[in-house]
């Protein structure tokens, strides 16, 4: 199929139905195999955490899912459509239904917070009036606890505030799926905990389904409904947090120090 379905009916998903399904995904750079037959499902309404060492293919995985990188083989289905078969128009429509929180935050430094949030709304929500745009910006800023940052420049924000604003910009366009790429990297433990809490609040308030790429075990345990561990480009273990915390596998235990971490995701 060459175009992405754009009707409301086509994107209504039942609880626990896959919104993303990846089968036997492969990706290499030259002779280096980064992903080797990776398969996973993101279910409607859940937070799926993908763990792994640096270089294990975590970020490559989500870039292949939205075709920022072209995979070498396998199948990727997003909201019922085969991503590898979409034409440019269909790919654009699909990406409009997905929010990204990049590791860097990716704010426009020359724009105020208000302008940063208005920019995607004007591009993706063209039918909104100026009043509706203003109300939407105020609403999402309040959701991330930064209602008073409207006219600040990104340079005036701390790292944690920049992540919050980036998250507000992502949820402003009402995504069905959120992709978080190392959302707590570079943040102090308290701010990291606040961002993890916000990820859960977004899941609850906006009914998003999310893939969270992280090597931060506290963030993983705080946010995950399920976890997947990648190792050398393959799925090493999949399960609930308790499956990882209780594992006797030396590789898994090297990530989880049970005496110092607590599972806070219900």
Contacts of 76 (CB under 8 A, 6+ apart): 20, 21, 22, 23, 25, 64, 65, 67, 82, 83, 84
Superfamily of domain 1-97+209-266: P-loop containing nucleotide triphosphate hydrolases (3.40.50.300)
Q: Is the pTM of this model over 0.75?
A: yes
Inter-residue contact 133 to 122 (CB < 8 Å) = yes
Q: What is the pLDDT of residue 106?
A: 77
> DSSP state, 11?
G
Measure CA 156 to chain center: 25
pLDDT by residue, tens only, the chain of 266 residues: 444 444 333 455 677 799 999 999 999 999 999 999 999 999 999 999 999 988 889 999 999 999 999 999 999 999 999 999 999 999 999 998 999 887 766 788 999 999 999 998 988 888 888 999 999 999 999 989 999 999 999 999 988 899 889 999 999 999 999 999 999 988 899 999 999 999 999 999 999 999 999 989 999 999 999 999 999 999 999 999 999 999 999 999 988 864 455 556 65
Q: What are the φ/ψ torsions at residue 158 (nearest 5 degrees)?
A: -75, 170
d(CA 143, CA 156): 20
d(CA 104, CA 68): 17
């Amino acid at each position: 199929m060459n175009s992405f379905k754009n009707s409301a009916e086509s994107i209504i998903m039942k609880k626990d139905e896959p919104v993303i399904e990846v089968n036997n995904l492969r990706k290499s750079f030259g002779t280096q195999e980064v992903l080797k037959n990776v398969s996973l499902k993101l279910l409607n309404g859940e937070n799926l955490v993908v763990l792994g060492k640096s270089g294990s293919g975590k970020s490559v995985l989500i870039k292949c899912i939205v075709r920022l990188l072209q995979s070498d083989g396998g199948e990727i289905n997003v909201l019922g459509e085969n991503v590898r078969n979409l034409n440019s128009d269909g790919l654009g429509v699909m990406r409009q239904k997905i929010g990204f929180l990049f590791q860097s935050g990716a704010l426009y430094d020359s724009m105020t917070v208000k302008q940063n949030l208005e920019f995607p709304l004007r591009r993706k929500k063209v039918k909104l009036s100026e009043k509706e745009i203003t109300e939407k910006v105020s609403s999402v800023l309040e959701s991330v606890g930064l209602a008073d940052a409207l006219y600040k420049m990104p340079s005036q924000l701390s790292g944690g505030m920049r992540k919050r604003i980036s998250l507000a910009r992502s949820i402003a366009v009402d995504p069905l799926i959120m992709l978080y790429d190392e959302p707590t990297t570079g943040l102090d433990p308290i701010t990291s905990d606040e961002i993890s809490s916000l990820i859960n609040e977004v899941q609850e308030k906006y009914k998003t389904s999310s893939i969270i790429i992280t090597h931060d075990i506290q963030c993983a345990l705080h946010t995950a409904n399920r976890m997947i561990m990648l190792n050398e480009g393959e799925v090493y273990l999949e399960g609930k947090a308790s499956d990882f915390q209780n594992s006797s596998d030396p590789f898994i235990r090297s990530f989880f120090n049970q005496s110092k971490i607590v599972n806070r995701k219900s």
